[in-house]
């Protein structure tokens, strides 16, 4: 319905960025942004303009920790019906993936959304149905909304939801790379609006632009960020105003807050990030997989799991290296035989890089 692939306008924006003669590093945190950047060759174009853009921890499946993967694998092995999104199924654990367990006959089901999982629970009243709830703010309202509607008593969620702003703060606090700006994710922002990002600009003096997903959106977003840098400004601008409202989706925010409260969690490649995860409020704890099946999960309680040997997903997610710098990329690690989650998920930067045939 929109025409946002206007070549003339695109060329105009690129030539404007070129005249700035800058040398900048931006980060975005969204697989769909990365897809647009690589698919349309914008990443190369921006490099020619002196702007380097990396993905950061913007892939919910990728930032899920090895321990969370082991939890869901163990639950499947204990005979639960395990449901989750397609990408999650292929993420390798220490020995298995949900995909390999499915092949071995365990009950693992792919869903398009949480309502499909509810449907399985209603159809299989005599079995336990676990939904691995992965996703950022865009996806969390769906989980919350379903839990408010008295789901079947054999249904529960393995909570793995995470929120974006604390991760941006973590990237800056860790100080591993100097960033000149953030491109903020359009659909996370659709839910949360622009306010939750403001502290990044006021406290860290980092410019931010919320951007949409068409090539023109990203070109415009980068131009707006570069302008801020040039003018010595640091604020949150909204390029995606046709969708993102300043206040976000208030109904969705209310639903999230009614069901979840913040908690500190680890992200793959990161230490614990304060208030970056969500746990169910006490009122909903009967739907908390970790509480309901505490005994089943007991053997994992004090265990820590590390990333697969040689896998550098953690460094990719922190923006320290690009996918192609990982020694396993395109060799030992390919989409059909992934070592780490960034090669599994269609939102992972390794998968995107490989898919668009930049295999070395």
CB of 257 to another protein, least distance (A): 13
Per-residue DSSP letter, 146: H
Q: Pick out residues in 154-193 that bind another protein (CB under 8 A).
A: 185-188, 190-191
The 193-232 contact track toward another protein, x by CB under 8 A, reads: -----------------------x---x--x---x-----
Report the residue number, 16 or 355, with the smaller CB distance to another protein.
16
Close Cβ partners of 320 (under 8 Å, ≥ 6 residues apart): 176, 177
Report the residue number, 113 or 327, with the smaller CB distance to another protein.
113
Which of 48, 104, 115, 123: binder of another protein (CB under 8 A)? 115
Angle at 356 between CA 227 and CA 94, to 5 degrees: 105
- Four-residue CA torsion sign, 176, 177, 180, 184: negative
CB of 2 to another protein, least distance (A): 5
CA distances from residue 186 to 58, 179, 244 in whole angstroms, order as listed: 12, 20, 7
Report the residue number, 4 or 321, with the smaller CB distance to another protein.
4
Per-residue DSSP letter, 161: E
Close Cβ partners of 176 (under 8 Å, ≥ 6 residues apart): 318, 319, 320
Inter-axis angle of helices 31-39 and 215-230, nearest 10? 100
Angle at 292 between CA 289 and CA 294, to 5 degrees: 90
Partners of 107 in the β-ladder: none
Q: Judged by CB under 8 A, does residue 150 bind another protein?
A: no
CB of 182 to another protein, least distance (A): 16
Q: Judged by CB under 8 A, does residue 2 bind another protein?
A: yes
Report the SS3 class of residue 295.
helix
Q: Judged by CB under 8 A, does residue 251 bind another protein?
A: yes
Q: Judged by CB under 8 A, does residue 138 bind another protein?
A: yes
Q: Contact region for another protein (CB under 8 A) — 94-102, 154-162, 238-246, 298-306?
A: 238-246
Q: Judged by CB under 8 A, does residue 317 bind another protein?
A: no
Size of the site for another protein (CB under 8 A): 51
CB of 298 to another protein, least distance (A): 30
CB of 355 to another protein, least distance (A): 15
Backbone angles phi, psi at 163, to 5 degrees: -115, 145
Helix (H) or strand (E) holding 184: strand 181-185
Distance of CA 190 to the CA centre of its chain: 15
Which of 54, 57, 92, 141: binder of another protein (CB under 8 A)? 141
Length of the chain: 360
Q: Judged by CB under 8 A, does residue 334 bind another protein?
A: no
Q: Among residues 68, 289, 274, 321, which one has the least CA distance to residue 173?
A: 274
Instruction: Tell me the C-alpha distance between 74 and 118, whole Å.
Output: 21
Report the residue number, 225 or 255, with the smaller CB distance to another protein.
255
Q: Which residues bind another protein (CB under 8 A)?
A: 1-4, 6, 9, 12-13, 16, 30-32, 59-61, 85, 87, 112-116, 134-136, 138-139, 141-142, 145, 185-188, 190-191, 216, 220, 223, 227, 241-245, 249, 251-252, 255, 345, 347
């Amino acid at each position: 319905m929109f025409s946002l692939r206007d070549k003339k306008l695109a060329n105009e924006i690129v030539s404007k960025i070129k005249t700035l003669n800058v040398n900048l590093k931006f980060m975005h945190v969204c697989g769909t942004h990365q897809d647009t950047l690589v698919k349309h060759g914008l990443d190369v174009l921006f490099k020619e303009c002196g702007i380097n853009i990396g993905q950061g921890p913007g892939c919910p499946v990728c930032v899920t920790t090895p321990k969370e993967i082991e939890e869901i694998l163990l639950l499947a092995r204990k005979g639960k019906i395990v449901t989750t999104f397609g990408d999650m199924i292929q993420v390798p654990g220490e020995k298995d993936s949900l995909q390999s367990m499915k092949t071995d006959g365990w009950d693992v089901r792919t869903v398009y959304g949480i309502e499909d999982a509810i449907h399985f629970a209603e159809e299989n009243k005599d079995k336990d149905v676990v939904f691995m709830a992965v996703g950022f703010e865009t996806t969390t309202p769906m989980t919350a909304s379903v839990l408010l509607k008295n789901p079947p008593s054999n249904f529960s969620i393995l909570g793995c939801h995470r929120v974006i702003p604390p991760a941006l703060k973590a990237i800056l606090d860790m100080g591993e790379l100097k960033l000149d700006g953030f491109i903020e994710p359009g659909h996370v922002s659709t839910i949360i609006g622009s306010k939750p990002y403001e502290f990044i600009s006021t406290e860290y003096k980092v410019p931010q632009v919320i951007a949409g997903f068409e090539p023109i959106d990203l070109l415009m977003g980068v131009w707006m960020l570069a302008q801020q840098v040039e003018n010595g400004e640091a604020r949150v601008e909204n390029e995606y105003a046709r969708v993102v409202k300043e206040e976000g989706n208030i109904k969705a925010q209310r639903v999230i807050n009614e069901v979840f409260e913040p908690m500190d969690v680890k992200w793959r490649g990161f230490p614990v990030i304060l208030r970056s995860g969500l746990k169910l409020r006490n009122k909903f704890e009967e739907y908390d997989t970790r509480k309901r099946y505490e005994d089943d999960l007991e053997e994992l309680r004090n265990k820590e799991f590390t990333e697969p040997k040689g896998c550098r997903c953690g460094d990719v997610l922190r923006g320290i290296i690009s996918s192609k710098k990982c020694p396993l990329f395109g060799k030992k690690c390919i989409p059909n035989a992934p070592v780490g989650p960034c090669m599994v998920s269609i939102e992972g930067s390794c998968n995107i890089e490989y898919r668009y045939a930049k295999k070395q």
